[in-house]
Every structure is written in C-alpha cells, then in structure tokens.
A = this chain, B = another copy of it.
C-alpha cells in the first residue's frame, strides 16, 4: 500500500476519556476532561495525566498533591464533552452538570458519584515535557459501582460501558465495539514462521 509521510502531530488511536477531579485552594471541586493519560506503572500502581499550565487543574494538583481519575460511561458523553469545554476558573462544573461530589476517603480530591468508577491518586511525580506537564499519580484506592463488577470482582469494560475518543482524523467519541479475541491467548493461534 502507498505510504505517506505526515508531519509530527499528537496522533494516536484510541484515547481514553479521563475525568480528573481536584480541589482548589478554596476547597472548590473541579473536573477536567483529559484524553492524554493512562496506566504507567504496576508497582506502585500509577496513572498519568498530561495537563497544560494554563488550566485550573494544573495548579489544583500542585497545591493539593492529589487527584481522582473518573471513568465515564456512554451516558456521560455530553457531560464529559461539556467538562472539556468549560473552564473551572469561571464554572462550577459539578453543579452545572448535576454531578454529585464525593470526597475521596483515600486522598484530598473529589470524585463524581455517578461515574462507574474512579481512581483515587496521590501526586507521585510530575515532569514538565513542554506545553504539557505529565502528572503521575499513585493509585491509593478505587471507588466503584458494585453493578459494573465482572466475574473477577473488578469493573468490566463492557458493564462500565466505557467510551473512547477518536482524536485527530475523527473527532468523535465512540462506544467499545465487538470482542476480537482474548489477550494472552488469541496470539497462540498464530503459527510463527521459522526465524532462523
């Protein structure tokens, strides 16, 4: 197939939809929509979120040394998108979206009771990369709806009805589609060609 060179840009598929909860210095809870983040360490269990200095969340995390990462369901698409457009500097996004503030029992950060589950994180490291700073949070606890747990006792992506973001080239939020194969299993069907 014909190949084309594309200039460097922040292209990747898919992005998750992460709703980052923080308290301001004044105690006001805020939510931010972050597409750039994900799990980044197993021991200790950590999650990263990349955030610009221009945002309220950037300053809230540095002050409170904590944040939550809420995973929304497909019924929260409008809310997630609204949270991504309005600034906490002049909006109370919890109140405006009708989300219920719960204070995390593990860290000094708020979470929305309506999301299927939220990671409760203490600030572990942060590194300035350029326009964005990557904040690494150690996961100190997870608060989940009982109804989204799968057989393993953990939230299941299908019961969560998790959403994803298409990013460049699309610009849409999507549902999770059909199962394509079990990890650490379907690759066993591949018949490796001799490598020597």
Contacts and interface: CB of A to CB of B under 8 A. Distances in A.
Contacts of A131: 41-43
Interface residues of A, number: 120
Contacts of A153: 6
Given A39-B36, A146-B2, A192 B8 contact: no
A105 B142 CA distance: 44
A147 to B, nearest CB: 6
A170 B186 contact: no
A39 B34 CA distance: 11
Interface of A: 1-16, 18, 35-48, 50, 52, 69, 71, 74, 77-86, 91-92, 95-98, 105, 113, 117, 119, 124-125, 127, 129-132, 134, 136, 138-147, 149-150, 152-160, 162-190, 192-196
Given A46-B129, A92-B195, A177-B178, A187 B82 contact: yes
A69 to B, nearest CB: 7
A129 B169 contact: no
A170 B156 contact: yes
